Amino acid sequence: MIEETLIQHNKVYIVGAQSRAKTLTGYLSFLYPHVSVAAYLVDELSQNDVFIQEVPVYKLEKSALLHIEFPVFIATKGISHVAIQETLHQLGFQTVFPVTVDVDNFLRNAYVRKYYAQEHRSFTKIVDLPVKQPEGAVYMAKSVCDKPLQTEYACPDYEKAIQVGAALTTKRLSSNILTDCEGENISVKNRQYCELTALYWIWKHAKEDIVGLSHYRRHFVLPDEWQEIMHTNEIDVILPVPTFVYPNIEENYKERHDPADWEFLMKYLEENSPNDYKAARKVFSESLYSPCNMLITHKKILDVLCSWMFPILDAVAKHGGVKEDAYMNRYPGFISERLITLFFYKNGSRYKIAYADKNFIT
């Protein structure tokens, strides 16, 4: 309404003759060059100048000099606005605008925006910037070796199927499925690295702000608005609820797999990263670890994790070689579960972690 009024009139009054009134004059003269101040209106003439830049200062009272059809802006302290409005209405003025905080902000922003435009300078308000909800995708690892599901499962929109070990076969699970053999990849290592060949591909190629890894049988149980929750609560990573193993992570691994691979892992950490080794001794003496190589995190955090983890796994795999038993040959994939647990333990003060259940589809 203010702008419409100023477009329709070329004369206004301003109540007040101090800094607020002068600032308002600057706004109006710059934004609406056709508008001029007819006079400044005050309670006491003795406390104010007679003229402000050749514009007269009048006492606010009934006078033949005043034109009640002119719009009036009240540019005084807010505490006096109500009383001044009553006086103006009693004198017959109909169009009155107290310069409130909102009015001041409107005129100030319009002034700066126009001024910066003339100066060819950028003026960007934070509230005008687009709000972008981070784009997220959880990549679901699938293989030609997977057994058919007996239970129907409808993948949520945020899950993207990726065929792992695709470099080892010409068969494709569907005509347009994403494969882990595109671009820089370790797809040929799938028999040992399992779903980590998908994680490697995500590390090298995914463009989403938030990325994750799940399996065709194991999926995160997430609320519909999980991305919004991550953003609102500044969650850095979602991990599956930890699994308890007996008697501890280290001994459990050595009981179920080749102890030599574990011993090499610990020796490698001791020789190449003493701080990691110290943390590993503590973490692996406990009984909780995050299973299945499943996680959801910001891409930049995944980059840090993978840059740290894959060289360790490559060293372990080079030492351990290929094993005849197909299950035991997957030891790099089993060790990575423990390394992911270690990574987020030693970065616990750096990243905010939330946990989610995972299901198992039969």
C-alpha neighbours within 13 Å on the C-beta side of residue 338: 29
Does a structural domain hold residue 361? no
| β-strand partners of 138 | 159, 212
pTM (2 decimals)? 0.68
Are residues 156 and 71 part of one domain? no
Are residues 149 and 101 part of one domain? no
What is the pLDDT at residue 87? Answer: 95
Structural tokens at position 288: 């909780």
Does a structural domain hold residue 185? yes
Residues whose CB falls within 8 Å of the CB of residue 123, separated by 6 or more in sequence, listed in order: 112, 113, 116, 117
User: Domain end: 128, 151, 172, which one?
Assistant: 128
Are residues 154 and 87 part of one domain? no
Instruction: Name the domain count of the chain.
Output: 2
Are residues 124 and 152 part of one domain? no
Residue located via tokens 């009036």: 72
Give the residue numbers spanning the domain of 108. 2-128
User: Domain end: 128, 149, 179, which one?
Assistant: 128
Are residues 167 and 26 part of one domain? no
104: domain CATH number is 3.40.50.720
What mean pLDDT comes out for the span 284-292? 92
124-183 pLDDT per residue, tens: 776 675 655 668 999 999 999 999 988 888 889 999 999 999 999 999 999 999 999 999
135-149 pLDDT per residue, tens: 899 999 999 999 998
CA distance linking residue 282 with residue 275, whole number of Å: 11
Are residues 58 and 8 part of one domain? yes
Are residues 325 and 211 part of one domain? yes
328-362 pLDDT per residue, tens: 999 999 999 999 999 999 998 999 999 998 988 88
Are residues 38 and 121 part of one domain? yes
Are residues 344 and 268 part of one domain? yes
